Each structure stands twice: as structure tokens, then as C-alpha cells.
Amino acid sequence: MDRFEIRGGTRLAGRLTIKGSKNAALPLLAAALLTDEAVTLRDVPDIADIGNMERLLAEVGCSVARQRAGDLEEAGGVFTVKATDLSACHARYDIVRTMRASICVLGPMLARRGYAKVSMPGGCSIGERPVDMHLRGLEALGADITLDAGDIIARIPRAHGKAGRLRGARVFLGGPFGSTVLGTANVMSAATLAEGTTVIECAACEPEIVNLADLLNAMGARIEGAGSPRITVHGVARLGGADLRVIPDRIEAGTYMCAAAITGGDLTLDNCPVDALMAHMDLLRHAGVTFVFDASGDPMRATCRVSMERGPLGGRGLRPVQATTQPHPGFPTDLQAQLMAVLCLAEGNSVITERIFTERFLHVAELSRMGAQLFRQGPTVIVSGVRSLRGAPVMASDLRASACLVLAGLAAEGVTTVNRVYHLDRGYERMDERLCSLGAQIERISDREEATLGAPGGVA
């Protein structure tokens, strides 16, 4: 398992191009299951979760052609997916357990084939991750859903001896934590081939849902209201192929904004979705970060300069803020850990409350190992700012917690070792190389290297 050795203290400076969104690309790739024609997606990030989805699509009867991107700062890869074997309908446990987002193949596969078998995703380090709202939504469309040996078995009942079809319905997707992003993706995708009209109430409003609706409409679907809490889908008999660009990754962009903030740096981000980051940018602005961008073009693909001036007494100049995670357009839970790293060095006490995944605090203990002063009370953490963090060996536990620890290592005195960076590689494309291009001092050490170099620690 790879680890990062990070020598902190460098102020980052330079330019980055934000890659395509992991959380948009996954349901977009799954949408190819709704048609027999080829679906082409552009600017797909080169990350582990996309590789997992590529394997999953091949397992459920799709041919996947992939052109990798060239230079790191160029646009991402191009995927062309074509569902060819409709009989392969089982998303098996050994893939689903590595990527719970695999659940997003359930709706499309069921709607097109009348049958789908998807391993029930387990929990993960940020919480239980139930899918009850997905299943209730598909049942509302007429699906017959059972559980058998850990698998979700979804069928469309046959009608008059012929293969049945889902039926349009009014579906409520609200839950105790707001809506469900992938649940909305599943129900919206399935409803495109239903007979009649579906109204999804309390739909997720995330930009990734808008990107998915754009693809589905380009394939011939008739979807209105994506991005609002009420989505209307007029069912059609079949969908065709399409060619679409994946929206930029707002979480990647928000993470690099935090990197500028925590190092007192000055970064220019190209292809930056400022329109999808207003809550995050508002919090960072309150914390003292300066943004300069021109949104007159496409505010989802702006050029945004992010800078952080040092404080008057040579301090970091970071001010404390109060943040609560909420469904979009509120402050995203996927940036909670990264913001916490920044606020560890603010001059005062900040308050962070996690309302989406109430256990999403595994980074708290690791930050405390670096000298952060953090006090958790249930879903809330008080962050009492300190003048500096000290490098230490720390353990990554999930994708965004690992990003948080890398950010803390960039600012800490001395060397921070972030172990198990395979978590990071799931959602950030070559983050070590890109941070080094901005002046960071990071070395990726893989066990293979150590084995060839002899004694632990790479000493031959």
C-alpha cells in the first residue's frame, strides 16, 4: 500500500486544471445501460473508482473503449460504452464492496432489461450507507424487489405474458438527511423508460444530477426540473446514444482551494465550477481567502484565482467560521474534512457540524495526532485554532479524510506520513504529482519500492 511522505511549510503557487467529476462520471457511465447504442463521455477522470466502474460495466455486458488523456493538465479521458450482452445482469459483491457507488447501475439495468441483480452495498467508514430510498423509489415505479443472500433482486413483473415495463409514478425521495443523490440518479434514470410520467419530489439538487439529466435528454429522454427538488420525467419507449462532457469536479476544486488557504498560497484553477461551490467559497472568504474569477462565460468552467495573504503578525491570517454540511446548494459534506484541516490553523474557535453522515469524523483523531485542538460533541466538532501543526505518521480512512490529512501535512512543521493513500487515489487524479507541480514536497513511497530497497524505510 502506497504512502505519502510530505515535508510541510511550502506556500503553493501555480496553475491547475480541474478534472471531470468522479461523482458525475459514475452515474453517467451507468446510464449507457439504458440503450443499445454507444454512449461517449469526455473529460472522465483517471482515478481508481472509474477503473472499478469500467470493470463493473464489462461484467454486466458492456464493451468499454477508453482513450486516456495525454498531459496531466489536459482534459481527461474519453470513454465509449455500449451495452451488448443484456443477459449479464449481476453486479457481484467483490466489485460492489470496493465501490458502493456501483448501486447506480441498478435503475438503468432494471429499466432496460426488466431484471437486475446488484449486491447490496455495505457500509463504509463514513457511515451505514443504506439504499432503502433507492429501493422504495424503484418499487413506486412498479419494480418487484427482493433480497437474497446479500443481493438486491429487482424485476419488472411480466404483463400478459410479455416483458413488462416500469410505470410512471409520483415518488418521494426525502429522508432524515435530506434527499439521496444516487437514489435520485437511479429513479430518474429508470423513469426515462417507464410508461407515463414520473414526478420525483424531494429530488437531490446536486450538479451531478443536472449533468446526468443532460446526458439522458441527449439520449432522447424527456426530463424537466433537474437541479430543483421536483423532477418530472415523461417516459419514452427507447433511448439512443449520445456524446457528453463530464462537468468539472467541484470537490476536487474545493480541495485545492483549501490547499491554497492552508499554505498561504496563490493558485489559479482552470475549468473551475465556481457556480457549484458558492457555499464553500463563502466559508473560505469568511476565513480570509481571496477569490478572483470571471463568471461571465460558463460559471461551471471558470478560471478562478485563490489566494491567502499572511496575517499581520506573520500568522496565517485565517479567521474562524461556523460550518454545517447540507444537501446542495449548502456546504457539501465531501468538503467537511478538508475545511476542518484549514480551520485547525485559524486564529480562534470554529464550529463544524456534520448533518449528512454523522460519523464522518475519522480524520479528527488523526489531525489531533498532528497537534490540532479538536473537541467532538456528537455531530459537532469545535476546532480550536493552533499556531502550527506538527508532522506525524497518520492513517487515511476514506477518500476525503485522506485529502484532509494531505492538506494538514502541507502546512505542518516537519514530515507527515500519510498511510494508505489508495483511499486518495479513488477520487483524486495523481494528487501528489499535481501538488508537487505547485511547489509541495511530497514523495509517494510504494511497498514495492521498499521491498526492492531492502530494509524498511527504503534504506538499502
Place of cell 411480466: 158
Closest CA to 42 of 220, 271, 224: 271
Is 131 an interacting residue with respect to ligand EPZ (CB under 6 A)?
yes
Ranges of beta strands (E only) in 132-196 are: 144-148, 151-155, 170-172
How many whole angstroms separate alpha carbon 382 and alpha carbon 137? 37
Cell of 156: 419488472
How many whole angstroms separate alpha carbon 302 and alpha carbon 270? 6
Contact string 18-37 vs ligand EPZ (x = CB under 6 A)? -----x--x-----------
What's the closest the beta carbon of residue 10 comes to ligand EPZ, in angstroms?
26
Bridge partners of 390?
413
Q: Can you tell me which of 132, 144, 224, 433 binds ligand EPZ, judged by CB under 6 A?
A: 132
Is 399 an interacting residue with respect to ligand EPZ (CB under 6 A)?
yes
Neighbours of 59 (CB within 10 A): 17
- The answer to whether the beta carbons of residues 152 and 119 sit under 8 Å apart is yes
CB closer to ligand EPZ out of 169 and 181: 181
Report DSSP state, residue 137: H
Report DSSP state, residue 319: P
SS3 content of the chain, % helix, strand, coil (to 5): 35, 30, 40
| Whole-Å CA distances, 433 to 263, 437, 441 | 17, 6, 10
CB closer to ligand EPZ out of 254 and 409: 254
| 149: Cβ contacts below 8 Å, ≥ 6 apart | none
CB closer to ligand EPZ out of 134 and 167: 134
Looking at 126-134, 293-301, 309-317, 408-416, which segment touches ligand EPZ (CB under 6 A)? 126-134
Considering only residues 223 to 252 of the shown chain, the ones binding ligand EPZ according to CB under 6 A are: none
Is 359 an interacting residue with respect to ligand EPZ (CB under 6 A)?
no
What's the closest the beta carbon of residue 339 comes to ligand EPZ, in angstroms?
14
Is 391 an interacting residue with respect to ligand EPZ (CB under 6 A)?
no
Report DSSP state, residue 158: P
Closest CA to 182 of 49, 82, 14: 49
Is 134 an interacting residue with respect to ligand EPZ (CB under 6 A)?
yes
Contact string 426-445 vs ligand EPZ (x = CB under 6 A)? -x------------------
How many whole angstroms separate alpha carbon 266 and alpha carbon 246? 27
What's the closest the beta carbon of residue 177 comes to ligand EPZ, in angstroms?
4
Q: Count Cα atoms within 13 angstroms, Cβ side, for 372.
A: 33
CB closer to ligand EPZ out of 175 and 379: 175
CB closer to ligand EPZ out of 130 and 299: 130
Active-site residue, from 62, 89, 104, 124: 124
Q: Can you tell me which of 51, 130, 164, 240 binds ligand EPZ, judged by CB under 6 A?
A: 130
CB closer to ligand EPZ out of 231 and 399: 399
CB closer to ligand EPZ out of 379 and 393: 379
Place of cell 483549501: 258
Looking at 172-180, 259-267, 315-323, 389-397, which segment touches ligand EPZ (CB under 6 A)? 172-180
Neighbours of 298 (CB within 10 A): 12
Is 259 an interacting residue with respect to ligand EPZ (CB under 6 A)?
no
Q: Can you tell me which of 93, 172, 177, 293 binds ligand EPZ, judged by CB under 6 A?
A: 177
Q: Can you tell me which of 400, 402, 407, 434 binds ligand EPZ, judged by CB under 6 A?
A: 400
Is 91 an interacting residue with respect to ligand EPZ (CB under 6 A)?
no
How many whole angstroms separate alpha carbon 371 and alpha carbon 411? 12
Q: Can you tell me which of 120, 181, 267, 438 binds ligand EPZ, judged by CB under 6 A?
A: 181
- The answer to whether the beta carbons of residues 456 and 28 sit under 8 Å apart is no
Q: Beta strand pairing status for 415-419 and 3-7?
A: antiparallel
Considering only residues 286 to 345 of the shown chain, the ones binding ligand EPZ according to CB under 6 A are: 333-334
**Cis geometry, peptide bond prior to residue 329 (ω within 30 degrees of 0):** yes
How many whole angstroms separate alpha carbon 321 and alpha carbon 105? 39
Q: Can you tell me which of 182, 212, 277, 435 binds ligand EPZ, judged by CB under 6 A?
A: 182
CB closer to ligand EPZ out of 277 and 392: 277
Q: Is 124 a catalytic residue?
A: yes
Is 205 an interacting residue with respect to ligand EPZ (CB under 6 A)?
no
| 84: Cβ contacts below 8 Å, ≥ 6 apart | 36, 61, 62, 63
CB closer to ligand EPZ out of 303 and 380: 380
Q: Can you tell me which of 291, 357, 361, 428 binds ligand EPZ, judged by CB under 6 A?
A: 357
Report DSSP state, residue 459: B
Is 183 an interacting residue with respect to ligand EPZ (CB under 6 A)?
yes
| Positions marked active-site | 124
Name the residues that contact ligand EPZ, by CB under 6 A: 23, 26, 101, 127, 129-134, 175, 177, 180-183, 333-334, 356-357, 399-400, 427
